[in-house]
Structure 1
Amino acid sequence: MSVSAKQVKELRDATGVGMMDCKDALQETDGDFDEAVSLLRKKGQEVASDRAAVEADEGLVATAVSDTGRAGAIIEINCETDFVARNDDFQSFTHTVAEQVLQEKPNDLEELKGLSYEDDVTVEDELVALTGRIGEKLTIRRFDVLESKDGEVISYVHPGSKLGVLVEVHGDGEAEETGRDVAMQVAALEPIAVTRDEVPEEVKEEEREVAHEAAVNEGKPEHVIDNIVEGKLERFFEDHVLMEQAFVKDSSVSVKEMLNDADLSVARFTRYALGD
Structure 2
Amino acid sequence: ELLRKKGVAKAAKRADREAGEGVVTSYIHAGGRIGSLVELNCETDFVAKTDDFKNLASEIAKQLAAMNPEYATVDAVPADVIEKEKEVMKAQLEKEGKPQEVIEKIIVGKLEKFYEENVLLKQKFYLDDKKTIEDLINEAIAKLGENIKIGRIARFQIK
Quickly name the TM-score band, shorter chain normalised.
Answer: 0.7 to 0.9
State the partner residue of 1:265.
149
Deviation string 1:40-64 (CA, Å, 9 cap, x unpaired) is: xxxxxxxxxxxxxxxxxxxxxxxxx
Q: Which residue of 2 aligns with 1:160?
A: 31
Matches within 5 A, 1:142-153: 150-153=21-24
Distance 1:184 1:246 in 2: 13
Alignment gaps of 5+ in structure 1: 1-148
CA distance in 2, matches of 1:223, 1:168: 42
Poorly superposed stretches of 4+, deviation over 6 Å: none
Whole-angstrom CA distance in 2 between matches of 1:241 and 1:200 = 12
CA deviations on 1:77-133 (whole Å, 9 max, x unpaired) are xxxxxxxxxxxxxxxxxxxxxxxxxxxxxxxxxxxxxxxxxxxxxxxxxxxxxxxxx
Identify the match of residue 223 of structure 1 among 101, 104, 110: 101
Q: Which amino acid aligns with 2:26?
A: S
SS of 1:151's equivalent in the other structure is: strand
Matching residue's letter, 2:138: N
TM-score, normalised by the number of residues in structure 2: 0.74
CA deviation after TM superposition for structure 1 residue 192, in Å: 1.2
What is the aligned length? 127
One-letter amino acid of the counterpart of residue 139, structure 2: D
Secondary structure of 2:25 counterpart: strand
Partners of 1:158 and 1:240 lie apart in 2 by 20
Out of 113, 124, 131, which is 1:253 matched to?
Answer: 131
How far apart, CA to CA, are the structure 2 residues paired with 1:265 and 1:250?
20
Using the aligned pairs only, state the percent identity. Answer: 36
Aligned partner of residue 220 in structure 1, secondary structure: coil
1:193 offset after TM fit, Å?
A: 1.1
Aligned equivalents of 1:189 and 1:182: distance in 2?
10
- Normalized against structure 1, the TM-score is what? 0.44
How far apart, CA to CA, are the structure 2 residues paired with 1:273 and 1:204?
26
Higher relative contact order (CA 8 A, sep 6+): 2
Residues of 2 paired with 1:227 and 1:259: CA distance?
29
Residues in 2 aligned to 1:225 and 1:210: alpha-carbon distance in whole angstroms = 12
Q: CA deviation at 1:175?
A: 2.6
Q: Report what 1:204 is aligned to.
A: 82
CA distance in 1: counterparts of 2:89 and 2:38, whole angstroms? 32
Provide structure 2 residue ranges, at least 5 long, that are not aligned to the other structure: 1-19, 142-147
User: In structure 2, what residue type is equivalent to 1:212?
Assistant: K
Tell me how far apart the structure 1 counterparts of residues 109 and 137 of structure 2 sit (CA, whole Å): 25
Aligned to 2:91: 213
